[in-house]
A and B are shown apart, each in its own frame.
Chain A
Amino acid sequence: MVYGRSSSGDPDRPGDPDRSGGLPGPARARRPADPVALKLLVAGGFGVGKTTLVGAVSEIRPLRTEEDLSEAGRPLDDLRGVEAKSTTTVAMDFGRITLRDELVLYLFGTPGQDRFWFLWDELAQGALGAVVLADTRRLAECFAAVDYFERRGIPFLVAVNCFDGAERFPAATVRAALDLDDRVPLLMCDARERESVKEVLATVVEHALALTTRDRAPAVRG
């Protein structure tokens, strides 16, 4: 996260009643009443079913984010004159699942193309986990996403979206093709089916929980 690890002594915490003065200290506790928001990312190539998946379990709305082109990794000398001051608008799939009043899970479906990587860094920050959607007819399109989450240590799974007419492959074959770590869950899904998508999302959170538990109790590891 952009925020430091300390939550109790953060002098910049908005909403602290005494934020305008006084010393930071342990007395500045997080407000217990603040609700909790978590996010999951849905990544994958164009047409793999990200929008369908997010829409299957949540009210889905497009989210517009405008980014400075220079942040998109373009060489600066590519930008001339007025163009240098322009922005690019990127629409993401955005879904909200209200688990209870004070607990909300957000889904962000992110474009898989290279030119949108700059968006991912923000989205990945503080993400609970990620779903990499794969289509066995175009498996290579999810390599970049798998690499990305592996490198960042973000808990993720691969969900193979089983399109009609696409040849079915055994999970082991897909795993091998993706060179997937044994611990990364891989499952088959139908992004149009609510039950199937619920299972995908629950599994990724389970995976995140397992990793968290392991990290919190190193003594019992192995």
Chain B
Amino acid sequence: MSDAGRQGRPGERGPGGDHWFDDDAGPVVRPYAMTRGRTSTATRQRLDLIALVVPEPAAADPGRDQTLSPEHVEIVQRCGDFPRSIADLAAGLDLPVGVVRVLVGDLVEDALVHVTRPVPPAELPDVSILREVINGLRAL
């Protein structure tokens, strides 16, 4: 999940957005051009690998945000058909997970997508989901 909702400062995003490298960022990881050098470790909590990226209604027209890169737009499009996780997106776009985390974080800030909080198995609302998984696996 992302803290973007609380910590996002969309106005500060952009070329001068070097607040991403704050004291908490730890050792600098190889910068990615695609994310303008940002890494996901600075101000945002790591998005879980199986956190699902779900489009918001505003995502129907992602092109209206001129600051979005083609990769941002592609992520929004890929999530339109059926839910994709951070890992799905990284594998599908052939990007490292860290890059996808940053890009999805941007989209959350822009309210184009939201990210589901993976449910720890112990917190599943009821165990019928697990029965469904067992039966589904046997029926594959």
What per-residue 1/0 map shows which CB atoms of A45-82 lie under 8 Å from chain B? 00000000000010001111110101000000000000
What per-residue 1/0 map shows which CB atoms of B105-140 lie under 8 Å from chain A? 000100000111111111110010111111011101
**Interchain CB contact under 8 A, A62 and B91:** yes
Judged by a CB distance under 8 angstroms, whether B17 is at the interface is: no
CB contact under 8 A between A13 and B117, given known A2-B46, A87-B30, A194-B140: yes
**B90 closest partner in A (C-beta):** A63
**Interchain CB contact under 8 A, B30 and A34:** no
**Interchain CB contact under 8 A, B48 and A125:** yes
15 A-B residue contacts at CB 8 Å? Answer: A5-B123, A7-B119, A13-B117, A14-B114, A19-B6, A20-B5, A38-B121, A64-B95, A70-B26, A106-B50, A106-B85, A122-B49, A128-B133, A198-B140, A202-B134
**Interchain CB contact under 8 A, B83 and A35:** yes
Extra contacts, 6 of them, besides A37-B116, A101-B82, A212-B127 (Cβ < 8 A), are A12-B3, A38-B121, A62-B91, A126-B119, A129-B121, A202-B138
Judged by a CB distance under 8 angstroms, whether A23 is at the interface is: no
Partner of A3, one of B6, B50, B117, B122: B117
CB of A159, distance to nearest CB on chain B (Å) = 14
**B105 closest partner in A (C-beta):** A14
Judged by a CB distance under 8 angstroms, whether A89 is at the interface is: yes
Stretch from A137-145, A181-189, A203-211 forming part of the interface with B:
A203-211
CB of B131, distance to nearest CB on chain A (Å) = 7
Give the size category of A's interface with B: 35 or more
CA–CA, A16 and B85, complex, Å: 19
**Interchain CB contact under 8 A, A14 and B48:** no
Task: Tell me which of A3, A201, A206 has the highest count of chain B C-beta atoms within 10 A of its own C-beta.
Answer: A3
- A97: chain B residues within 8 A (beta carbon): 136-137, 140
Give the size category of B's interface with A: 35 or more
Judged by a CB distance under 8 angstroms, whether A108 is at the interface is: yes
CB of B26, distance to nearest CB on chain A (Å) = 7
**Interchain CB contact under 8 A, A126 and B98:** no
- A3: chain B residues within 8 A (beta carbon): 1, 117-118, 120
Judged by a CB distance under 8 angstroms, whether A104 is at the interface is: yes
CB of A208, distance to nearest CB on chain B (Å) = 6
Judged by a CB distance under 8 angstroms, whether A113 is at the interface is: no
Judged by a CB distance under 8 angstroms, whether B27 is at the interface is: yes
**Interchain CB contact under 8 A, B136 and A106:** no
CB of A141, distance to nearest CB on chain B (Å) = 25
Judged by a CB distance under 8 angstroms, whether B97 is at the interface is: yes
What per-residue 1/0 map shows which CB atoms of A142-175 lie under 8 Å from chain B? 0000000000000000000000000000000000
Judged by a CB distance under 8 angstroms, whether A221 is at the interface is: no
Chain B residues 5 to 46 lying within 8 A of chain A, measured CB to CB, are: 5-6, 26-30, 45-46
What per-residue 1/0 map shows which CB atoms of A8-49 lie under 8 Å from chain B? 001111111001100000000010001111110000000000
Judged by a CB distance under 8 angstroms, whether B75 is at the interface is: no
CA–CA, A87 and B124, complex, Å: 36
CB of A100, distance to nearest CB on chain B (Å) = 7
Judged by a CB distance under 8 angstroms, whether B54 is at the interface is: yes
**Interchain CB contact under 8 A, B130 and A205:** yes
Judged by a CB distance under 8 angstroms, whether A84 is at the interface is: yes
**Interchain CB contact under 8 A, A34 and B6:** no
